[in-house]
Structure 1
Amino acid sequence: MNNLTKWLSETPNFTSFRINKLKEFDIKNLREYLETQNHELGIQQIPNTYLLKEDCLIVEKWPENVCLEKCDREVIVDVSCATAVLRGAHVFAPGVLALPTSCKLNERVDVYGDLDGQCKRGLKVPYEGRKIYVGTGYLKMQRYHLFDNGVQPSGIAIHMLLPASRLPVINESIYPVGHILLQNLPSIVVGWVLNVKPGEHILDMCAAPGNKTTHLAEMSNNQAHIIALDKTKQKTDKISKNLEAHGITCVKVFPYNSEKCYTNNSEAEINEPPFPLNSFDKVLLDAPCSGLGQRPQLTNTVTPKMLQSYKHVQRKLFEAAIKVLKVDGILVYSTCTITEEENERMVAWVLKKFPNMQLVPAEPLLGGPGLPNVGLSDEQRIMVQRFGPEEDPLRQVHDIYKNSIGFFTAKFIKIK
């Protein structure tokens, strides 16, 4: 467990982007952008960049010898902002908590994350609480922009030069909107596992903000019939915005509770929820989960009671997914967490509860096997994928798939 805790506290060694294969993409734009950054940092080489597949771009860290001396200007940001900075983001205005009064525009500042959540917004004096250095950048907003104008600030407050993680800060605006998308590698793998084809009827049950939905549509060359659901209109509006940016027209979006997405009325339409039984060729259940696979984890506020609550929601969603799935149809289940209860034990529950569901290999098998002694046999463990630091003789895993986030994927077929 200590090894896992250490791994979760660290930042992945690379940034992954999904490429929209419906649009034109030239990797030269990215390399030229990184070359402008290396001049700013005073080094001769750019990070390694390559296409893992035609729809997956990898950008590695700056070399070990790249570093910047700290300065005497400290800006405090909230912990979620600090995490984003370590993953290669700029500092956006809502995340800033404290800024010295003496700071000037375009001045270099050091950015620290507030680990205890005790820093008061607008603090002028040095913060004495527990904090972590997350990088250095150039200040783009002054105090009155951030704290004194009576409205929620927006935009980039600090243009990051170098995060402490040494991941390059890549602004997606170097390509037109919808051409590339920042996405964790295991989340991209989920799309490869479902492997959507033109003409198939697909249900994406918990689709917001639509990152996986757009991938499924792009894999089908915008020719599948996809329905995306999420509980609220606020969430589905995000999906629709994402689809529009990606140039996708084959997806219909509905604000609907996926736990109740089925009906026994055989005359109901498949074009909108609730759906008749046995309606879809493939279903993606990217379930609400505890999210404990995200990296780096600087703090953890998930309570035992919260942890126990997720499995009940996941089970209800499974029941609905199986009802609307056709016989011989494919169901892919995924979470971005590391708990046994939401992963291996959930798969074991499905196999016991639903004899008509058969576990099949979640190919391409790029993550490690499931954990031992938590409900699955070795034969079953090797069919699922767990992304994490574990070593297991059942399957060797390439380093790039061990160094992203904690994630889990399983694939089922409905046999009757």
Structure 2
Amino acid sequence: MKNNQKTVREIALDVLESVEKNQSYSNLLLNTMITKHKLTGSDAGLLTELTYGTIQRKMTLDYYLEPFVNFKKTQGWVVNLLRMSLYQLEFLDKIPDHAVLFEAVEIAKKRGHKGHTSMVNGVLRNIQRKGLPSLEDISDPIERISVETSHPKWIVQRWIEQFGYDKTFGMCRSNLIASVQTARVNIRKTSRNEVISLLEQEGYMVEPSVVVPDGIKCLKGNLAGSEAYKMGFLTIQDESSMLVGYALGAEGEEQILDTCAAPGGKSTHIAERLSDRGRVVSLDLHEHKVNLITQQAERLELNNIKTRAYNSKKVQEIFGLGQFDRILVDAPCSGLGVMRRKPDIKYTKKEEDIHSLSEIQQELLDASSPLVKRGGVLVYSTCTVDKEENERTALKFLENHPEYEGDETIKDRLPEAARALVDRFMIQVFPQDFGSDGFFIACFKRKVK
């Protein structure tokens, strides 16, 4: 089906090109393209599948293509077209092979010359005739996981050292599974059962989350287009991310600081759990990101959020010591826990990024810690699965701040499904645990004396 004279596969190729050449974020660009080309239903679904699937499996696809293609001498768009076509042939069952070949050749005709067309046709037919190389030929176990699951070797090596072979292989395989959209119900305005009923009336296929009491899973449709969303009855948020609000445990009239708050999912969750006299101060470095928090608060009709654009490393310049009951530091991180929804992350991150990020994370904790009242709580969270950014950062913070101790009551505040994952005052959620994002939360309590 054509949209603005382009087929869905042509649009997918444009996205793949932009992600590779310009390091565009695949999730943001995909949403832009769906809107621009007015794609709905199965067309939007196919574009998402082709884009995410090809990026997720890129290293595997390149391994399969290597005997048939000279990558150094082949233009980038042709390589991406071959990857996308091979992804359909190898990993999608519902698209006939002849349709894949026909579309690939038609795109090559439009974008290139006869040589490109014959090459694309020849490579794909050669693959059909000869078959693909076997992954069994890879003898090194680390390289085998790397190629089979399309994770750079340094990530696989690092995870095996930290978590062991089986946990790593399970995580890498889980990262290839498309994420299911989840949302958090605004308990100030409605109940989960009511929202599920409303969404089902709208034609959505939804079910309660088994992880989070206020969560729902959407099996069909995009909740951002629902009336329930427009009325402020729900916020789109991953189940692992929802756990942060529970871990923080804000209630009543407490004063809360969220230091790295954009786009506002956690701030609004905290605000929903407070009374009108309780308050969340939500900071982020950039004004345009702060505006996202404000927009979310207005949509949800939350009047107890105050936003401000400010550098959270300098919070002591604008707030008093011991001013807040609880503080959340949802720190910038490598994002290695969200590869299922942002697959390009694994190809753009480098190991040295983790070292520099861990220093920033420590600076943010150091800056925020004096602002917590005695007996108050400081929560540190990331959307990654790396011990240097997570467990080691948490332990280093306690080592440097004897006025704090690990808060093991975090276990009592978390939903029952997550409690088994708690280690003392920390919880590491892996993607394979709940089919949600990889996430880390540590809870510290400021000593009374």
What TM-score, normalized to structure 1? 0.60
Say whether residues 1:56 and 2:215 are aligned partners.
yes
Say whether residues 1:283 and 2:330 are aligned partners.
no
Residue number among 6, 31, 38 corresponding to 2:200 in the alignment: 31
Say whether residues 1:212 and 2:379 are aligned partners.
no
Cα deviation, residue 11, structure 1: 2.4
Matched residue of 2:425: which SS? coil
Say whether residues 1:402 and 2:446 are aligned partners.
no
Q: Name the CA distance, whole Å, in 1 between partners of 2:331 and 2:420.
A: 20
Aligned 1:138-177 pairs, distance under 5 A:
168-175=221-228, 176-177=230-231
Matched residue of 2:272: which SS? helix
Contact 1:258 1:320 in 2 (8 A): yes
Q: Name the CA distance, whole Å, in 2 between partners of 1:252 and 1:260.
A: 18
Aligned to 1:66: none
Cα deviation, residue 50, structure 1: 6.0
Say whether residues 1:16 and 2:182 are aligned partners.
yes
Matched residue of 1:262: which SS? helix
Say whether residues 1:292 and 2:339 are aligned partners.
no
Aligned 1:217-232 pairs, distance under 5 A:
217-232=271-286
Residue number among 378, 392, 415 corresponding to 1:331 in the alignment: 378
Residue number among 417, 431, 443 corresponding to 1:411 in the alignment: 443
Contact 1:369 1:384 in 2 (8 A): no
Aligned to 1:383: 425
Aligned to 1:306: 353
Q: Name the CA distance, whole Å, in 2 between partners of 1:318 and 1:49.
A: 35
Say whether residues 1:251 and 2:251 are aligned partners.
no
Cα deviation, residue 356, structure 1: 1.3
Q: Name the CA distance, whole Å, in 1 between partners of 2:223 and 2:255.
A: 35
Q: Name the CA distance, whole Å, in 2 between partners of 1:411 and 1:33.
A: 40
Q: Name the CA distance, whole Å, in 2 between partners of 1:215 and 1:357.
A: 25
Aligned to 1:4: 171
1:220 is aligned with what amino acid? L
Question: What's the CA shift string for 1:233-280, capped at 9, x where partnerless?
Answer: 1111111111111111112111111111104xxxxxxxxxx1121111
Q: Name the CA distance, whole Å, in 2 between partners of 1:358 and 1:228.
A: 25
Q: Name the CA distance, whole Å, in 2 between partners of 1:404 and 1:168.
A: 18
Contact 2:323 2:371 in 1 (8 A): yes
4+ runs deviating over 3 angstroms: 46-54, 167-172, 364-370
Cα distance change of structure 1 residues 49 and 355 upon mapping to structure 2, 3 Å threshold: closer
Cα deviation, residue 49, structure 1: 4.4
Aligned CA-pair RMSD: 2.3
Q: Name the CA distance, whole Å, in 2 between partners of 1:15 and 1:352.
A: 39
Question: What's the CA shift string for 1:300-342, capped at 9, x where partnerless?
Answer: 2111222222111101100011111111110111110011111
Contact 2:199 2:226 in 1 (8 A): no
Aligned 1:185-204 pairs, distance under 5 A:
185-204=239-258
Matched residue of 2:384: which SS? coil
Contact 2:224 2:236 in 1 (8 A): no
Identify, as 1 or 2, the structure richer in strand: 1
Question: What's the CA shift string for 1:151-186, capped at 9, x where partnerless?
Answer: xxxxxxxxxxxxxxxx54444423134221110001
- What 5-or-longer segments of structure 2 have no aligned partner? 1-167
Q: Name the CA distance, whole Å, in 2 between partners of 1:388 and 1:52.
A: 13
Cα distance change of structure 1 residues 52 and 2 upon mapping to structure 2, 3 Å threshold: closer
| More RCO (CA 8 Å, sep 6+) | 1
Cα deviation, residue 52, structure 1: 6.2
Matched residue of 1:223: which SS? coil
Aligned to 1:184: 238
What TM-score, normalized to structure 2? 0.56
Aligned 1:101-120 pairs, distance under 5 A:
none
Aligned to 2:393: 346
Matched residue of 1:284: which SS? strand
Aligned length: 270
Cα distance change of structure 1 residues 291 and 196 upon mapping to structure 2, 3 Å threshold: same
2:172 is aligned with what amino acid? T
Larger radius of gyration: 2
Contact 1:369 1:385 in 2 (8 A): no
1:186 is aligned with what amino acid? S
Q: Name the CA distance, whole Å, in 1 between partners of 2:211 and 2:171.
A: 26
Q: Name the CA distance, whole Å, in 1 between partners of 2:225 and 2:211.
A: 18
Cα deviation, residue 225, structure 1: 2.0
Cα deviation, residue 298, structure 1: 3.2
Q: Name the CA distance, whole Å, in 2 between partners of 1:298 and 1:368.
A: 28
Contact 2:327 2:377 in 1 (8 A): yes
Cα distance change of structure 1 residues 369 and 322 upon mapping to structure 2, 3 Å threshold: farther
Say whether residues 1:319 and 2:360 are aligned partners.
no
Matched residue of 2:226: which SS? helix
Cα distance change of structure 1 residues 369 and 291 upon mapping to structure 2, 3 Å threshold: farther
Q: Name the CA distance, whole Å, in 2 between partners of 1:342 and 1:212.
A: 20
Contact 1:351 1:358 in 2 (8 A): yes
Matched residue of 2:202: which SS? helix
1:381 is aligned with what amino acid? D
Cα deviation, residue 218, structure 1: 0.7
Contact 2:258 2:280 in 1 (8 A): yes
Contact 1:19 1:56 in 2 (8 A): yes
Cα distance change of structure 1 residues 246 and 178 upon mapping to structure 2, 3 Å threshold: same
Cα distance change of structure 1 residues 171 and 205 upon mapping to structure 2, 3 Å threshold: closer
